[in-house]
A and B are shown apart, each in its own frame.
Chain A
Amino acid sequence: MTGTQRRVAITGIGLVTPLGNDVAATWHALLAGKSGVAPITHFDASGFPVRIAAEVKELDPRHAIDDRKLLMLATRSHVLGLAAAEEALRDAGIRPEASDATRWACVVGSGKTGLGIGELGEVHRQCAPDGHFRPDRLLTNGFAMDPLAFYRSQTCAGLSLLLHRFKIRGYATSVHTACASGSQAVGMGMKLIRRGTADYVLAGGFDSMIDPIGLASFCLLGALSTDNETPQRASRPFDATRNGFVLGEGAGLLVLEAWDAARRRGARIYAELAGDGNSLSSYRITDSHPSGDGPIQAMRQALAAAGVLPEEVDYLNAHGTSTVMNDRSECAAVRAVFGTHAPQIGVSSTKSLMGHLIAGAGAVEAAICALAIHRGVLPVNANLAEPDPECDLDFVRGQPRVRRIRVALSNSFGFGGSNSCLALRNPDEVGA
């Protein structure tokens, strides 16, 4: 262990989101304030209490990934991750080579895995037609369980596909802390470079729960907006009339690199990934503490780890799920951390346009922060007509805001109480 801390540069970004199937399309729709929420098309959701979601549209897996064998092993979530990773590496202009493959790491937040409805339906037909499971029927002649279903259901399946495709041979893991997964993965990636475990990290998250089981699981909890008639307005974080989040799907992958090496090779650096804060609320499974306890520690740690003062923060990409409790708790936390500086920070939840990408959310939103810094534009918090009086921050409303960003923060808070905050710094601020 050395005493000097290595800086980490973000040099590549790949996005597949409900707003577009790459970075350019996503960013364009984000600035245009174009919503990605619409009636569900992946399956017949007409009987469900919620019939809208933010789907990734018209993604052709074979166009994105020219490897049929690999695609056979992939779920939709994995395809999104593979496509975003492909773009991130292309964007960074480097790839793992045989000579440095063990210096490449991969950390991904991958969604909850399990059987898809088709595979579950097979087991049901064979073993439980009356609803009651009889294990011996799995042995019945002629009933072969699909080994591909086993592959796809492994928690590390998506990670394994990324490693295989890109020949990454260093430290690799997948993590899952629900909606904080993607953000935690990016934070872990940063730490791997800082502690010298890796020189390059492919880090991010991917998820797709817009299937009958995934949608059902959130409908059961009553967590989703039921504004089926006005899908584009359904996700409205911090609005007084919000009534739940909108389920989305997508992937965000970043290429992280040791700063000095990135500079030496003349890489385009979007931002410095400067700090990570990570706390556990230890309060309730799905509720946030009204005081902001938990997120407060995460934000303070991120600032401390980045070595920046609260006054240097110009943009916050809020977790902002569009649920009353979550939004209020986050605002309380921001006020507690930033005090009199809080009103100076431009705040937006991009979930207002792309819904909640669950395990992918934090990584996509970290990428949006990097793009916001790079382009000097703050994307909007759409659908904020009537702000909740308890959410009195400076939200970016109506039009994107042109502003030079010194430091941006990205918040992600998961079911189960994991809170993650990432701090990104403008590369021009580095070494100043």
Chain B
Amino acid sequence: MSVRVVVSGDGAICAAGKSPAEIWDAVWTGRPAIRPIQQWDASGWPTSLAGEIAGSDPRALVEDRKLHKLLQRSDLLGLYVAGRALDDSGFVAYREALDPPAAAAVNDRTGVYVGMGGGGYQNEYEFFPLLTAANGDLRTFGRELTATVHPMWLLRSMPNNVLCHIGIRHGLKGPNVCVTNHSASGSTALTEAAAALRAGEADRALAVGHDAPIEPQMVLYYHQLGLLGADGLWPFDARRSGSLLGEGAAALVLETDSAAADRHVRVLGEFLGSGCTTEAEGLLAIRADGDGLAGAIESALDDAEMRPADIGMIVAHGSGTRLSDASEALAIRRVFGASAPPVTAFKWAFGHPLAASGILDSVLALIALRHGVVPGVATLRELDPDFGSLPISAQPQAPRSDVALVLNRGFGGSNTALVLRAAASEAA
């Protein structure tokens, strides 16, 4: 191994809280933040629950009011956590103390990797007044266009907005990617950020995942496709009936070990490796045997140069759908046999925040292992008997080591696995 990649800062927001500490507290104390949707009156809807961020106006999270018109809800969340993570890492203060050429060099060597989710149907509704005026006539649509729709409409619609505005706001100018791969986006962004550091393309990188899928048309599509649970999100439970959408964002600051040592940074953990596979059977298809996910885990262990026995805790995807949880349990069994480490999952606490999942789960995994605990799945009443040997519990468990395996799955049969080591524990 040449370059080690360490984690020096985090930021997160979701239904369960507006900081990693708040979210951790909700998870640790077993308080799910799944609630009736507030953004519109969904009381008569077939699915009216979601993991929505309370207080609901995320514009308050981004001070620069000029940006409010240019950003969608999901973008605001992403930009917010990016700032929090950079602050948390001490990066901003470090750069301020440098002379301008040195600061410019640091900016050129700091990458930005963002995973975003998609959606944004409501953004397209801004064409509704124009469609009304056009009344089915495209010529009128074309003629009335500039008088009716905001000139910056395209800029608000850009999938890479968070990347763009992190750059402008924080001056970061290194290598960058905006991953658009549904729920695998966040973990893929983290993987690419770490790869850039390992390859010497950057000394530091900010990895962000963000998503805000709770909008009427999206909720209804997910419902029609049978992906949503009736009354709750209960990972690995015998009574589980589907997932529930969540919203949120999370960010991690990564540095090479030498860049971190240069500025005497407090280290939260280390990125050890990752794996990514697809099942190639269609957008919604999931293989029942968990083959794709097992392959991702094996490839992540290879990348991290670890054996299954080295893993101390598994943060499962645990989306709460019948098929995903069942195939996930099989994948874990295939790799770990009868000796899997304690397994947990977090989506019961804040819903499924799609593209934000991978990094949000990573933030929480590192906190859990710094505390030396594996939080319970608070909603678990009766483990699905098919998963007999899976060491998952409603109660806290003791991790087997300071290394976490974080699993994520997305549309298109994407499976990702991340291997992370937590820094020495904070408290007993």
- Give bound CA distance, A160 to B143, whole Å: 37
Question: Is A27 interfacial (CB 8 A cutoff)?
Answer: no
Asked if B220 and A145 sit within 8 Å, CB to CB, the answer is yes
Contact with A along B159-178 (1 / 0, CB 8 A): 11101100110111111111
Q: Which of B131-139, B228-236, B324-332 touches A?
A: B131-139
Pairs of residues from A and B, 10 with the lowest C-beta to C-beta distance, nearest first: A47-B142, A47-B139, A416-B164, A282-B167, A160-B412, A48-B142, A155-B180, A217-B154, A131-B129, A135-B216
B155 neighbours in A (Cβ, 8 Å): 221, 285-286, 415
A145–B224 touching, CB < 8 Å: yes
**Is B138 a contact of A212 with CB atoms below 8 Å?**
yes
A164 at the interface (CB under 8 A from B): yes
- What 0/1 readout, one digit per residue, does chain B (36-52) give for beta carbons within 8 Å of chain A? 00001110111000000
Interface residues on B, range: 35 or more
CB contacts (< 8 Å) of B278 on chain A: these are: 106, 163, 168-172
Instruction: Please state if B176 and A418 are interface contacts (CB–CB under 8 Å).
Output: yes
The reply to whether A169 and B279 contact each other, CB–CB distance below 8 Å, is yes
Closest chain B residue to A135 by CB distance?
B216
Which chain B residue has the least Cβ–Cβ distance from A73? Answer: B283
- Please state if B181 and A155 are interface contacts (CB–CB under 8 Å): yes
Contact residues in B for A3 (Cβ distance below 8 Å): 2
Question: What is the bound-complex CA distance between A176 and B176, given in angstroms?
Answer: 11
Given contacts A155-B181, A176-B180, A279-B175, contact A138 B220 (CB under 8 A): yes
**Which chain A residues in 40-77 approach chain B with CB under 8 Å?**
43-49, 73
Task: Given A139-B46, A163-B413, A173-B179, output 4 extra A-B contacts at Cβ < 8 Å.
Answer: A155-B180, A173-B188, A195-B199, A216-B142
For this complex, 29 residue pairs linking A to B, each with C-beta atoms less than 8 Å apart, are: A73-B283, A113-B118, A123-B125, A128-B125, A129-B132, A136-B44, A153-B118, A155-B180, A155-B181, A156-B283, A156-B412, A166-B280, A173-B181, A175-B179, A176-B159, A177-B160, A178-B158, A212-B141, A213-B127, A216-B153, A220-B150, A220-B151, A280-B167, A282-B170, A294-B173, A415-B155, A416-B158, A416-B160, A418-B163
Q: Which of B45, B164, B180, B224 has the most CB of A within 10 A?
A: B180
> How far is the CB of A106 from the nearest CB of chain B, in Å?
8
- In the complex, which residues of chain A have a beta carbon less than 8 angstroms from the beta carbon of B70? 285
In the bound complex, do residue B149 and residue A155 qualify as a contact, i.e. CB atoms below 8 Å apart?
A: no
Judged by a CB distance under 8 angstroms, whether A219 is at the interface is yes
Q: Mark A152-191, 1 if CB is under 8 A from B, else 0.
A: 0111110110011011111111111110000010001001
User: What residues on A are CB-neighbors of B173 within 8 Å?
Assistant: 279-282, 294, 297
For the complex, is A385 an interface residue (Cβ under 8 Å from B)? no
Interface residue? B152 (CB, 8 A): yes
Instruction: Report whether B199 and A220 are in contact in the complex, using a CB–CB cutoff of 8 Å.
Output: no
B219 smallest CB distance to A (angstroms): 9
A430: CB under 8 A from chain B?
A: no
A220 touches B163 (CB 8 A): no
Between B44, B280, B410, the greatest number of chain A beta carbons within 10 A of the residue's beta carbon is seen for B280
The complex places the Cα of A349 from the Cα of B192 at a distance, in Å, of 30
CB of B181 within 8 A of CB of A114, answer no
Any A CB within 8 A of the CB of B88: no
B201 proximal to A (CB < 8 A): yes
A101 within 8 A of B: yes
Closest to A280 in B: B167
On whether the beta carbons of B280 and A280 are closer than 8 Å, the reply is: no
Give CA–CA (A132, B201) in the complex, Å.
49
Instruction: Report how far A364 CA is from B41 CA in the complex, Å.
Output: 47
Cβ-based interface call for A284 (8 A): yes
A102 touches B295 (CB 8 A): yes
Measured in the bound complex, the distance between the Cα atoms of B1 and A132 in whole Å is 58
Is there an interface contact between B220 and A177, defined as CB atoms closer than 8 Å? no
Q: How far is the CB of B401 from chain A (nearest CB, A)?
A: 22
Q: Is the CB of A128 within 8 A of B128?
A: yes
Give the residues in chain B near A128, CB-CB below 8 Å.
125, 128, 131-132
In residues 33-74 of chain B, which contact A (Cβ within 8 Å)?
40-42, 44-46, 70
Q: Does A94 contact B (CB under 8 A)?
A: no
Query: Measured between alpha carbons, how far is A108 from B276 in the docked complex, in Å?
Result: 15
- Cβ-defined contact, A160 with B132, below 8 A: no
CB neighbours of B225 from chain A (8 A): 147, 150
In the complex the two chains form, is A188's CB within 8 Å of B192's CB?
yes
Residues of chain A lying within 8 A (CB to CB) of residue B42: 135
A361 CB, nearest partner CB in chain B, Å: 15
